[in-house]
């Protein structure tokens, strides 16, 4: 088996039977996979990479290489959809709220407008709209969905909104839960879905990224209110026997730097002298509280992002056995155009392969990657068999990247 030379972009057909199998073999041996299991397993990253190893094992199987890890199913990315609130808030609208101007916002962030949820809109409604569009593209009926993962920090209800989306789309056979990992949520959701599907118990899964950070923005704070918008993106994944189109990934977090981006819960309902907010008698104080506005040290997040994104895309590529040159589309979390430009420059991905729609939507948190990907797929820019590298970063701090092949066909077909 020969490896594709660095810098040589594989032809789409090669990606499967000859080339993917070759890199799969390399990836497996490079990570010390013996008898189908990954050596190590120290931490979450290693366990993620063990699935990546399994992913490549299927590619290897297609090449006649015996994979012994027992994982039978591969994941295909088969449909996307998105939805945004009706109301558009432009930079000039913001000039009426805070001391700012269109030129400053455009130059520093690349954002010209964002969509903001009205009182008659909800995460559930946006999620259902986006999910229905993704199901239609996938050709999958809602009743065939057996898992919904809603990635959000801003559900309509404290207990989550995955189940209300399930009800809204009529996915009566699905289990549904929320996952919170801020702007990295969608990538974390994809990684979770891939693990669960490769076990064989979940055949069609909806991963939805949806957020309404406008609910937590301080509209008097010009350093944050200019950045965020609301929206939703959804993806349908289907498990099939054979190659896996989720090629590799890596996820990380660093809670030590948490204070740089928070919207903390604040309790204000304890009666004088009370030491607990747990009800111990009928006369116990009732706890009142709420989440506070978003508080951010912008410069620290900026520095974190421009370092973390190239690092995580690099390690996800490594777990996939790929090189930067193989990326057809780089879909980064849409936080700031300067971050997208800097991170893609550092990675060495040419501008024409970098997806950006931040100008129209601002930072939609967990929604930004699937929203950008959906537009790129529907415009025809992303084609069957293209290699897509996604990376999210944000509060937590969290960051993660997933490398996949787009479409229903196995990478070897």
Which residue ranges make up the site for ligand COA (CB under 6 A)?
A: 100, 104-105, 108-109, 183, 222-223, 226-227, 296, 298-299, 301-302, 335-336, 363, 394
**Contact by Cβ (8 Å): 386, 379:** no
Shortest separation between residue 358's beta carbon and ligand COA, angstroms: 10
CA atoms within 13 A on the CB side of 264: 9
> Known catalytic residue: 183?
yes
Q: How does strand 398-405 pair with strand 246-253?
A: antiparallel
> Does the active-site annotation cover 333?
yes
For 89, how many CA atoms within 13 A lie in the half-sphere containing its CB?
22
Q: How far is the CB of 368 from ligand COA (least distance, A)?
A: 9
Torsion region of 273: left, alpha or beta (phi above 0 gives left; psi -120 to 50 gives alpha): left
363 catalytic? Reply is: yes
Reading the block at residue 186, the tokens are 């969608």
Torsion, Cα of 264, 269, 270, 272 (10° steps): 120
Residue 386, CB half-sphere, CA atoms under 13 Å: how many? 18
Distance of CA 248 to the CA centre of its chain: 14
**E strand or H helix at 49:** helix 44-62
Nearest residue to the partner ligand COA, using Cβ: 298
Catalytic residue among 115, 326, 329, 333: 333
Q: How far is the CB of 43 from ligand COA (least distance, A)?
A: 24
Report yes or no: 232 and 129 within 8 Å, Cβ to Cβ.
yes
CB of 187 to ligand COA, least distance (A): 12
Please state the closest distance from residue 289 (CB atom) to ligand COA, in A.
24
Residues annotated as catalytic (active site), given as ranges: 183, 333, 363
């Amino acid at each position: 088996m020969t490896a594709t030379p660095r810098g040589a972009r594989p032809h789409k057909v090669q990606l499967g039977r000859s080339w993917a199998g070759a890199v799969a073999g390399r990836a497996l041996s490079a990570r010390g996979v013996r008898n189908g299991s990954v050596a190590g397993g120290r931490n979450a990253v290693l366990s993620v990479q063990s699935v990546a190893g399994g992913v490549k094992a299927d590619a290897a199987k297609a090449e006649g290489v015996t994979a012994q890890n027992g994982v039978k199913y591969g994941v295909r990315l088969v449909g996307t959809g998105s939805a945004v609130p009706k109301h558009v808030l432009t930079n000039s609208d913001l000039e009426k709220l805070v001391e700012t101007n269109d030129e400053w916002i455009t130059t520093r962030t690349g954002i010209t407008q964002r969509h903001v949820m009205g009182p008659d809109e909800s995460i559930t409604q946006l999620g259902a709209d986006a999910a229905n569009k993704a199901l239609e593209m996938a050709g999958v009926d809602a009743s065939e969905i057996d898992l919904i993962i809603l990635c959000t920090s801003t559900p309509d209800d404290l207990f989550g909104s995955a189940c209300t989306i399930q009800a809204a789309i009529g996915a009566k056979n699905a289990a549904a839960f929320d996952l919170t990992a801020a702007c990295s949520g969608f990538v974390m959701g994809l990684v979770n879905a891939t693990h669960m599907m490769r076990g064989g118990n979940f055949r069609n899964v909806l991963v939805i990224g949806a957020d309404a950070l406008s609910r937590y923005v301080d509209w008097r704070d010009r350093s944050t209110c200019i950045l965020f918008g609301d929206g939703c993106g959804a993806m349908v994944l289907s498990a099939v026997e054979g190659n896996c189109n989720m090629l590799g990934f890596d996820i990380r977090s660093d809670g030590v730097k948490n204070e740089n981006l928070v919207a903390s819960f604040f309790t204000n309902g304890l009666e004088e002298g009370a030491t607990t907010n747990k009800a111990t008698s009928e006369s116990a104080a009732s706890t009142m509280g709420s989440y506070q506005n978003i508080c951010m040290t912008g410069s620290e997040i900026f520095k974190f992002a421009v370092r973390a994104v190239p690092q995580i895309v690099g390690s996800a590529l490594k777990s996939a056995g790929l090189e930067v040159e193989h990326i057809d589309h780089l879909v980064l979390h849409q936080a700031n155009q300067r971050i997208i430009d800097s991170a893609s420059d550092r990675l060495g991905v040419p501008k024409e392969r970098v997806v950006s729609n931040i100008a129209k939507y601002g930072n939609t948190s967990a929604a930004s990657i699937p929203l950008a990907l959906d537009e790129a797929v529907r415009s025809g820019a992303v084609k069957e068999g293209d290699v897509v590298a996604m990376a999210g970063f944000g509060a937590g701090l969290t960051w993660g990247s997933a490398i996949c092949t787009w479409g229903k066909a196995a990478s070897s077909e």
